[in-house]
């Protein structure tokens, strides 16, 4: 017996859209750098989910390849963001995004 679970494409894309909107709202509303970075990660994962769903719909591995590229981009983002967070924390004793404008001085 085959008990494979099939998910309609529309349902998967709705989930990806909701995740993306949650992340986008977090980027716009939050002022803490850590919350903004987590929101960006949610947005990237939503895009990756949309790629995987579209690839599964057409039976192509392209969506999974794009998801691997998104994961690599997320790892690079975390590495750069950690340096920015450490600089904000050391120089200004805060993780407020507005303090980042003073880093270029």
Q: What is the maximum span of the chain, computed from C-alpha positions, in angstroms?
A: 66
Q: Where are the alpha helices (DSSP H) in 30-101?
A: 33-58, 62-92
CB 14, CB 26: distance < 8 Å = no
pLDDT at 10: 94
User: Could you report the per-residue pLDDT of 54-73, keeping only the tens digit for each?
Assistant: 999 988 999 999 999 999 99
Confidence of residue 99 (pLDDT cuts 50, 70, 90): confident
Cα-based torsion angle of the residue sequence 50, 52, 57, 61 in order, rounded to the nearest 10 degrees: 140
User: Could you report the per-residue pLDDT of 30-49, keeping only the tens digit for each?
Assistant: 888 889 999 999 999 999 99
pTM, two decimals, is: 0.84
CB 44, CB 74: distance < 8 Å = yes
DSSP 98: G
């Amino acid at each position: 017996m085959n008990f494979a679970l099939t998910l309609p494409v529309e349902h998967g894309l709705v989930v990806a859209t909701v995740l993306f909107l949650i992340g986008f709202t977090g980027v716009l509303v939050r002022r803490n750098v850590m919350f903004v970075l987590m929101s960006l990660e949610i947005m990237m994962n939503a895009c990756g989910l949309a790629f995987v769903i579209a690839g599964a719909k057409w039976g192509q591995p392209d969506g999974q390849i794009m998801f691997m590229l998104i994961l690599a981009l997320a790892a690079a983002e975390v590495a750069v963001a950690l340096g920015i967070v450490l600089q904000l924390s050391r120089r200004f004793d805060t993780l407020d995004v507005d303090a980042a404008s003073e880093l270029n001085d």
